[in-house]
Amino acid sequence: MFGYRVPAPDEAMLISGGRRGLGGAPFRVVTGHGKFVLPVFRKTRFLTLAMCESEVVETCVTRQGIALTVRAVIAFKVGNDVESIVNAGQRFLSDQDQMSVLTGRIFAGHLRSIIGSMTVEEIVTERQKLATEVLDTSKAEMAKIGLHVDSLQIQSIDDGDTGYIEAMSAPHKAAIQRQAQIAQAQATQAAAEAEQEAARKQAEYARQTAVVQAQYNAEVDRAQAQAAQAGPLAEAHAQQEVLDAQTELAERAAQLRQQQLVAEVVKPAEADAERIRVLAMAEAERMKIQAEAAASYDRVALDRMLIDQLPQIVKEAAAGLSGANVNVLNGTDGLGEIAAGLVGQGLTILDSVRRNLGAPGEGSSGDGTDGRKSRGDSAERHGGRVEIE
């Protein structure tokens, strides 16, 4: 609309030509809104409120007398309050670029003053302290001209060709290099130890793997060997069992053969020996009787003696029979027949003895030889009737 003016967000509108502003200022300040301005009667100008910067490059001498070239950057702007706008407008409205020039000169002076009271070591190591002191000393002066400093940055400090800062930094550089070398050595050592540890772990893992593999191979070989030996072992066990059975069978056969030999050889031999013994005893007894009869010529006594000795003969024959191997085929009848045979043989022996001895004048010759021969033949004939096995 005609006559209505609005300042930008980062501007202050200054209206002159009417009533005075705050504090007797020659203009009124309008920010953040528009205002009707009468043409011809009122004049409108605009003051920037935006951020500005000023670069300062100044050679300063320290307390030690060493010249330093200091480069700094100041960020500033016109204050937002009406008083700061009025102060800045009265000084810089016609030439707002002068704000940066004047600000640089003000800070250059303060830099020289403050650096002159400090040593190079303090300036280099305490830059923030230097910037804070410069800001504090320039704050009141900058406020008078309506400017507000937001920040001051010391960009560089150079001692030219003197080499003081370089020499001052040499021990630190050496220490830093030494620390860097130590750190590098430690890092290298740590890396080597890590590699060695990794190698040890890998070797240990390989060893354990080899042990496990060897154990597995041993178990496989053992199982294969057992499987390979299972057949021969089973066959050997079977053969051993067959041999044991054959041995037991052979032992039983030997025992049976021994029993057969005892039945077939030993028992018959014992029976034959017993038979011979009985016959010999009978013969001896007969000879004894004959001798006694011949000595006494008493036939009656001889007969009585024979009769008395007959039971003893039969008893001896029965005793021999008890130890013999007698085969009885018809039970009790057979035993009766054997007993009757023994008695009959005993009576036959008695009768033979009587005949051989002869009745009075019978069977005897002048030399007595026929009688003895007849008695011997009779004994020989009747001796063969006793059959013992």
How many structural domains does the chain have?
3
What does DSSP assign to residue 17? S
CB atoms within 10 A of CB 60: 19
Q: Which CATH number is 131's domain given? A: 3.30.479.30
Query: For residue 224, what pLDDT band results from cuts at 50, 70 and 90?
Result: confident
Q: What's 95's DSSP letter?
A: -
Is 93 inside a domain boundary? yes
Indicate if 299 and 351 belong to the same structural domain: yes
Q: Under DSSP, is residue 18 helix (H, G, I), strand (E, B) or coil?
A: coil
How many alpha carbons lie under 13 Å from residue 186 in its C-beta half-sphere? Answer: 6
pLDDT tens digits, one per residue of 225-250: 888 877 777 788 888 888 888 889 88
Longest CA–CA span in the chain (Å) reads 229
- With respect to residue 71, please indicate whether it lies within any of the assigned structural domains: yes
* Residue 22 sits in the same domain as residue 103: no
Tokens encoding 368:
């007595």
Give a yes or no: residue 179 inside a domain.
Answer: no
What is residue 338's predicted lDDT score, i.e. its pLDDT?
54
Q: Is residue 340 domain-resident?
A: yes
Does 343 have pLDDT greater than 70? no
- pLDDT at residue 344 greater than cutoff 70: no
Whether 344 is in a domain gets the answer: yes
- 132 within domain boundaries: yes
Q: Which long-range contacts (CB under 8 A, 24 or more apart) does 224-229 make?
A: none
Do 328 and 371 lie in one domain? The reply is yes
129 and 22 within one domain = no
Closest residue by Cα to residue 14 from 58, 47, 59, 50: 47
339 with 362, same domain: the answer is: yes
The pLDDT tens digits of the residues spanning 196-210 come to 999 999 999 999 999
In a domain, 232, yes or no: no
- 37-41, 129-133, 360-364 — most confident range: 129-133
Say yes or no: 63 and 77 in one domain. yes
For residues 366 and 349, membership in a common domain is answered with yes
* Cα(57)–Cα(70) distance, integer angstroms: 6
> Structural domain of residue 10, as residue ranges?
4-47
**Given 135, 162, 189, which residue is the final one in a domain?**
162
Structure-derived torsion over alpha carbons of residues 242, 243, 246, 248, reported in degrees to the nearest 10: -110
